[in-house]
Homo-oligomer: A and B are copies of this chain.
């Protein structure tokens, strides 16, 4: 009946190993072997071997003084490559920077990761930027501006799956608390081309968000301008939409036409039969 909501359809050994990796991540702090064992659904020896393998591979790091494991440094290196070879984030960065300076408010760039919002870039025109402490952060999709803006443009099947994974936890009195309310809101967003966060996630925090779409209509990400009710209001944020739209359009175009340098890696497989 349900269209495979098995989000973790155990992809063989590799899938299981990555499950352990996620488990370590979920603690948010370095962990002992037994911490992992307690929450893992594999037997002792299996968990042990996975942790050994992941450590030897640099996906986990072991602190011999405290006898704890944490996520490894190799992930930081890989994430750097991921960010760099993404067609969105590097292209968007200068536009976001300009927009942030322009409107004098915090700008977020987000993408959809499974059913969550993942912030891939952030510019706060006031404070110095915090690096990994902000980028890489995840949040709920159903109660953030960027999340709703992206969901509004998903095709039906994908949307159903994403909605099915929302928790609909009530954070504030404005939080959309069920699927019906969310779907109504998404239709609204789609007809306007932009959406708001009306203090749905955190009190006093409001934002406008626009989706970043390919020419074919595929969702690449979303851009939002965030502020607080103490500084501004929804109407004022709405007035910024045209300026955000300019940035969004530019990003979408560049992201789609962007060719990575050295596309001529094809060199020669030409039958060197001479």
Contacts and interface: CB of A to CB of B under 8 A. Distances in A.
B77 A11 contact: no
B131 A270 contact: no
A11 B56 contact: yes
State how many copies of this chain the complex holds: 2
Contacts of A261: 29
Contacts of A22: 78, 270, 272
A142 B113 CA distance: 38
A103 B138 CA distance: 35
Interface in A96-123: 97, 111, 113-114, 118, 120-121, 123
A14 B11 contact: no
B78 A216 contact: no
B18 A80 contact: no
Interface in A1-41: 3, 5, 7-9, 11-15, 17-19, 21-23, 25-30, 35, 39, 41
Contacts of A132: 79-80, 82-84, 89, 131-132, 135
A223 to B, nearest CB: 16
A136 B81 contact: yes
A90 interface: yes
Interface of A: 3, 5, 7-9, 11-15, 17-19, 21-23, 25-30, 35, 39, 41, 50, 53-54, 56-59, 63-65, 70-87, 89-90, 93, 97, 111, 113-114, 118, 120-121, 123, 128-138, 167, 214, 216, 218, 256, 260-263, 265-267, 269-274
